[in-house]
Structure 1
Amino acid sequence: MRIAVVGAGVGGLAAAVRLAGLGHRVTVFEQAPTVGGKLGRFARDGFLFDTGPSLVTLPHVFADLLPELELRRLDPIVRHRFPDGSVLDSGDGFAERIGDAFGRSAAEDWQRLWRRAARVWESSWRHVLSVPLESPLSIARQGWRLPDLLAVAPGGTLRGLGRRMLRDPRLRMLLDRYATYAGADPRRAPAALVAIAYAELHYGGWYVPGGLGRIADALLARAEAAGVTVHTGVSVTGIRPLVADGVRIPTDAVVANADATHVYRDLLPTPSRLARLNDRSLAGFVLLMGVRGTTPGLAHHNVFFPHDYDAEFDAVFGTPTRRPRPAADPTVFVTAPDDDAVRPAGHEGWFVLVNAAPQSTVDWTVPGTAERYADRVLDVLAARGVDVRERVAFREVRTPADLARATNAPGGTIYGTAGSLLRPPNRGPAPGVFLVGGSVHPGGGLPMVLLSARHVAELIGPA
């Protein structure tokens, strides 16, 4: 079969590799000048930044497709800093670390939650994540057992689960954070997202020396070795039929590695009800900073929590009486790899991320808005004990509007459909159309994107 892949992100390249291995003739079309999609990179003054994902989880999923990929285990996975000044590192023996930091009762609560999370993960993996989604009904037909349903707790929220099972407010805050991994508000996100915490802590967090952008390099090399043709700088304006740079391209099937909303709304002949899927999903406000010197106590990944987490969610998602807006006192995520390959000697390269409302609800292009908020984020870090304002050699600001322009992600949303276990299916709404990537089944994050590519290859089958 002649198969066109639209988008050379991780999902598109992985699908191309698998489909070429099944004997198909595969051509990839990418609008950007380089491959990788949201797994972007930025270089300046001897620094190399990953501008997308910064953590690898579920390493066995990567080993299936890229056995040569070098991974380095991180410990801690994340250093959490709470408003009261306490610090908790996640990683191996997490319950023991909780006991040392917060006391025995907090550790016992976490162990009880952990047993619940393990059941949710096992059920989700068996019934949802590891199987293709042809339509929303296909998951419903999987034959869930009663213990599976009790563990997943349909109708319950992640916030509610934490309130029931964790007495320490800091652990509740930590659990809430995992909803943001799916672009969701923990007060509305399904309780089943506790599986994200389990996957990260059980399988560990990993880093690719030289930066996670090397995953895209490895996939491109695999694709080209398999005979895949990759065209960059090509604009696709329709997929049934496929139209690339104004030219109609004959195909037997199309795999779309673009945001599902963009596919349904812009690339298919008839827009559908999925056109507004992303409205309540998170975007991100990013600073890429070269920092002189070293910062004591900084881990690879760091989370600085606010005093009022709900105020942040109210700002970013909006309330019935107020539109979304930049959060005044946000959670700040800082990634600073200890890797000489990505920073000059005597410096640190900081990737700073703040949860943000998408461009569709906040106009990040208004002159001065981005720079003022960048100043605010650095002021927040300083108030939390990490003041680098006098050590910043340079900073680059990336807003949701920038990501929207670069990747066609509506509003610059990062995670696709917020917080849902059932995302748009891998089989598209038109004959011969299939979808891969973080906005479709089985979800966001690098391992889920790789699984989506496996699912599409299974649905299409051998040539």
Structure 2
Amino acid sequence: MVGGGVGGMVAALLLARNGHEVRLFERLNRLGGKLAEHEREGFVFSLGPSLLTMPRLFRDLGVGCAMVEPAELCRYRFADGSRLRALRDPVRMEEQVESLAPGQGPAWRAFYGWAQECLAASRRTFFAGPLGRPPEQARLGDLLAVAPGRTLDGLARRFFGDPRLRQYVGRYATYAGSNPYRAPAALGCVPAIEHGEGGWYVPGGLPRIAADLGGLLAAAGAEVHLGAEVTEVIADRAAVSGVRLASGERVTADAVVVNADAAALYGRLLPDRRRLRRIAGLGLSSSVLLMLAGVEGRTAGLPHHSVVFSADYRREFDDIFRHGRPAQDPTVYIGCAAVDDPTQAPAGAENWVMLVNVPARDPSRWPMPVESYRDLVLDLLARRGHDLSGRLRFVELFTPADLRDRYGAWGGAIYGSAHGLSLIPISEPTRP
């Protein structure tokens, strides 16, 4: 097994439990991959996922750490100052939508019903077997249920007349580092997961999951090698035969599972120009600028998760994906675990993780220094109700270059390739 992120750990665990001799090699000196944290002056920050969906999957594996559910999935603030509280209960969520945009509550109910059907169809097809060909049990109705050929923005326009609700739906593209005006409508199934199974938090931070998985790996008899970088997957035309480590050591194996970007596999570990060209043709996903802030005092009414939307969503994604520059008016995600977990910040303080979608390229190529962009984001938040003036103890930055250097992320892209459709119009009609 190459790579000790959560995907690699779970794959190694399942293989070990099925009787295979498993050796896992991780370049870093810890397991968990992007499921990581950073500490400073008593503040603890998540560098990766900030919530957990489908916790039953981890429970089924034997992960035993505590999990709690915040009061709100997320709170959205739009550029006009209006707000939408995303609540797990679909009935209450419909009420919140109706309060924001009178007459649109039933539209959200219809959208949620579509999301449920899309998720069910995806589980019967795309998640049910090897990628690359439709599973045998696929039905035409299942394939149509994912709205093939329609973008996520096109899906939002099918259901919602209010532009704020279309922006809310478009945000689900960013879960895959993609552009809602190019991403497939199938990403609209995410609300069925969030409202169906909730968005959860692990007290002490989500890296507790990686610690639990590490214990399960040991119990299953898997060998874990930390600080062991794999530089080559050894193979001939017939089969793989092992891996080579940075130390020069050759490790033989009957099979090799690689938990890394496909570009890293076919560009470096197992060079394949044809496959690499196909991957490059998909384009890079977005990257992120993380702003880790130690904030003095407590913010009245602050939820665990909130999103402050830009005034022009299309321009924001054009900046990122067409022009390769950070948006001048970005959407900002704010996560504050201290709202639900006092261990994550000193008494009377808050740990703010501010996440901004940016292009997957080195910040040295941005049109402004990264510190100037930090100030732009803080000024924007101040104008939209989150003024941190006089409250900041520090702000640390985690950039696409850090993603590239720490995790080997292709170009600093957070999810490798972008999800998009190649045969779709850029814009679609407002109503079907």
Q: Judge same fold: TM > 0.5, yes or no.
A: yes
2:135 and 2:4 mapped to 1: Cα distance? 33
2:225 and 2:219 mapped to 1: Cα distance? 15
Distance 1:397 1:179, change over 3 A: same
Aligned to 1:397: 397
Q: After the TM superposition, which residues 309-328 of structure 1 pair with which residues of structure 2 at under 5 Å, given as runs?
A: 309-318=313-322, 323-328=323-328
Shift of 1:366: 7.3
Q: After the TM superposition, which residues 58-457 of structure 1 pair with which residues of structure 2 at under 5 Å, given as runs?
A: 58-91=54-87, 92=89, 93-103=92-102, 105-129=103-127, 131-133=128-130, 135-137=131-133, 140-240=134-234, 241-245=242-246, 246-274=248-276, 275-276=279-280, 279-318=283-322, 323-337=323-337, 338=339, 339-359=341-361, 362-364=362-364, 369-419=369-419
Q: Which whole-Å deviations, capped at 9, do the CAs of 1:216-238 have from their partners, x for residues lacking one? A: 11111111122222111122110
**More displaced stretch, 298-307 vs 246-255:** 246-255
Distance 1:150 1:279, change over 3 A: closer
State the secondary structure of the residue aligned to 1:351: strand
Structure 1: runs of 5+ lacking an equivalent: 422-463
Shift of 1:80: 0.4
Shift of 1:57: 0.7
1:211 and 1:81 mapped to 2: Cα distance? 25
2:107 and 2:384 mapped to 1: Cα distance? 28
Distance 1:377 1:334, change over 3 A: same
Q: Which whole-Å deviations, capped at 9, do the CAs of 1:60-90 have from their partners, x for residues lacking one? A: 2121113413110122010000111111111
RMSD: 1.8
Tell me if structure 1 keeps the 8 A contact 2:125–2:135: no
Q: Which whole-Å deviations, capped at 9, do the CAs of 1:312-365 have from their partners, x for residues lacking one? A: 1011001xxxx3101111000000012111111011001110001002xx5447
User: If the length of structure 2 is used for normalisation, what is the TM-score?
Assistant: 0.90
Q: Which whole-Å deviations, capped at 9, do the CAs of 1:90-115 have from their partners, x for residues lacking one? A: 12221122123322x11011111111
Tell me if structure 1 keeps the 8 A contact 2:177–2:415: yes
Distance 1:369 1:66, change over 3 A: farther
Tell me if structure 1 keeps the 8 A contact 2:110–2:159: yes
Aligned to 1:24: 20
1:219 and 1:235 mapped to 2: Cα distance? 20
**More displaced stretch, 273-282 vs 208-217:** 273-282
2:380 and 2:364 mapped to 1: Cα distance? 19
User: If the length of structure 1 is used for normalisation, what is the TM-score?
Assistant: 0.84
2:29 and 2:63 mapped to 1: Cα distance? 27
1:147 alignment partner AA: G
Tell me if structure 1 keeps the 8 A contact 2:293–2:394: yes
Relative contact order, CA 8 A, sep 6+: which one is greater?
1
Distance 1:223 1:277, change over 3 A: farther
Aligned to 1:431: none
**More displaced stretch, 16-25 vs 329-338:** 16-25
1:177 and 1:25 mapped to 2: Cα distance? 42
Tell me if structure 2 keeps the 8 A contact 1:265–1:272: no
State the secondary structure of the residue aligned to 1:18: helix
1:145 and 1:23 mapped to 2: Cα distance? 35
Tell me if structure 1 keeps the 8 A contact 2:32–2:210: yes
2:367 and 2:186 mapped to 1: Cα distance? 41
Distance 1:346 1:365, change over 3 A: farther
Q: Which whole-Å deviations, capped at 9, do the CAs of 1:404-462 have from their partners, x for residues lacking one? A: 100011011112332269xxxxxxxxxxxxxxxxxxxxxxxxxxxxxxxxxxxxxxxxx
2:53 and 2:289 mapped to 1: Cα distance? 23
Q: Which whole-Å deviations, capped at 9, do the CAs of 1:372-416 have from their partners, x for residues lacking one? A: 111111111111111113211111101111101000110111123
Distance 1:181 1:54, change over 3 A: same
Distance 1:355 1:292, change over 3 A: same
Q: Which whole-Å deviations, capped at 9, do the CAs of 1:270-294 have from their partners, x for residues lacking one? A: 3432352662311111111110001
2:156 alignment partner AA: G
State the secondary structure of the residue aligned to 2:169: helix
Aligned to 1:449: none
Q: Which whole-Å deviations, capped at 9, do the CAs of 1:157-210 have from their partners, x for residues lacking one? A: 111111121111111110000011111111111111111122112211100111
Shift of 1:23: 1.5
Tell me if structure 2 keeps the 8 A contact 1:364–1:400: no
1:150 and 1:242 mapped to 2: Cα distance? 42
Shift of 1:125: 1.3
Percent identical: 44
1:414 and 1:68 mapped to 2: Cα distance? 28
**More displaced stretch, 230-239 vs 66-75:** 66-75
Tell me if structure 2 keeps the 8 A contact 1:238–1:269: no
Tell me if structure 2 keeps the 8 A contact 1:292–1:348: yes
Tell me if structure 2 keeps the 8 A contact 1:109–1:167: no
Q: Which whole-Å deviations, capped at 9, do the CAs of 1:287-317 have from their partners, x for residues lacking one? A: 1111000112311000000111111101100
State the secondary structure of the residue aligned to 1:132: coil
Tell me if structure 2 keeps the 8 A contact 1:30–1:235: yes
Tell me if structure 2 keeps the 8 A contact 1:364–1:401: no
